[in-house]
Amino acid sequence: MKSMSIAALVAALLGAGIPAGADTGTHISDPYARILAGNGVVYFTIDNRQDQPDTMIAARSDAGMAMLMTSAEDAAGVMRMRMLPDGIAVPGGAAHALAPAADHVMLSGVMGAYKTGDTITLTVTFATAGEVTLTVPVDNTRRTPPGPGPTDFDAVSGQGADSGAAP
C-alpha cells in the first residue's frame, strides 16, 4: 500500500511541471520537396516553441549527395542564390518558413528519379533541439506561395508557364 502512495505522488509531481497539452521544442511542419533533373529543393516551416533561439545547422537526405542551406534573393529582377554557412536561425517562440525565393534546403546530386507522390527521408540538425528526422513527400507541381499561376521562382526551377513543364 505504501509503494502505491509513493508511485501516485511521483506521478502527480511529474505531471505538475508541464500543463496538459503543452508542446515545447523545435518542430517542422508542411514539408515537401521538388526534385527535377538531378537536383531538388526542400521547403518546410520551422516552429521554435522554445524560449531560446535555435539554428538549423545541417541537413542530410537519402535522396541527395549534398544538402546546402541557401537563400534566394531577387536582385534587380535576377534571382541570386547565396549560401547560409551559419545555418538558419529561428528566434525563440517564432516560426520561419522555408519557401521559394527565400531560405530553403538544396539537394544536389540527386540519386534516382523522383516523381510526385514519392517520398524522401530528411534529417535536419538544430543547434539546441538536435536531430529531427521526417518523411518528406515529393510534389513537383506544388507552388508556394499558393496561387493560380507560376511565380518567378517556378520559372527559374523549370516549372513556369514558359518552361514546357507540366503545371
- Lowest mean per-residue pLDDT among 67-76, 130-139, 154-163: 154-163
- Check residue 76 and give its pLDDT: 81
User: For residue 42, is it within any domain?
Assistant: yes
Beta-strand runs (E) in 62-155: 66-75, 78-83, 88-90, 95-98, 103-108, 119-126, 130-137
- Check residue 19 and give its pLDDT: 37
Number of domains in the chain: 1
Average pLDDT over residues 43-59: 95
User: For residue 1, is it within any domain?
Assistant: no
pLDDT per residue over 112-141, tens digit each? 889 999 999 999 999 999 999 999 999 999
- Lowest mean per-residue pLDDT among 8-17, 71-80, 112-121, 141-150: 8-17
User: For residue 14, is it within any domain?
Assistant: no
Res. 60: pLDDT tops 50: yes
- Check residue 112 and give its pLDDT: 87
User: For residue 12, is it within any domain?
Assistant: no
User: For residue 9, is it within any domain?
Assistant: no
In the numeric block, which cell numbers belong to residue 123? 534529417
User: For residue 62, is it within any domain?
Assistant: yes
Res. 145: pLDDT tops 60: no
Res. 56: pLDDT tops 90: yes
Question: At 131, which CATH number?
Answer: 2.60.40.1890
- Lowest mean per-residue pLDDT among 29-33, 80-84, 138-142: 80-84
Tell me if 103 sits within 8 A of 44, measured CB to CB: no
Give me the domain span that covers residue 91: 22-156
User: For residue 165, is it within any domain?
Assistant: no
Tell me if 154 sits within 8 A of 148, measured CB to CB: no
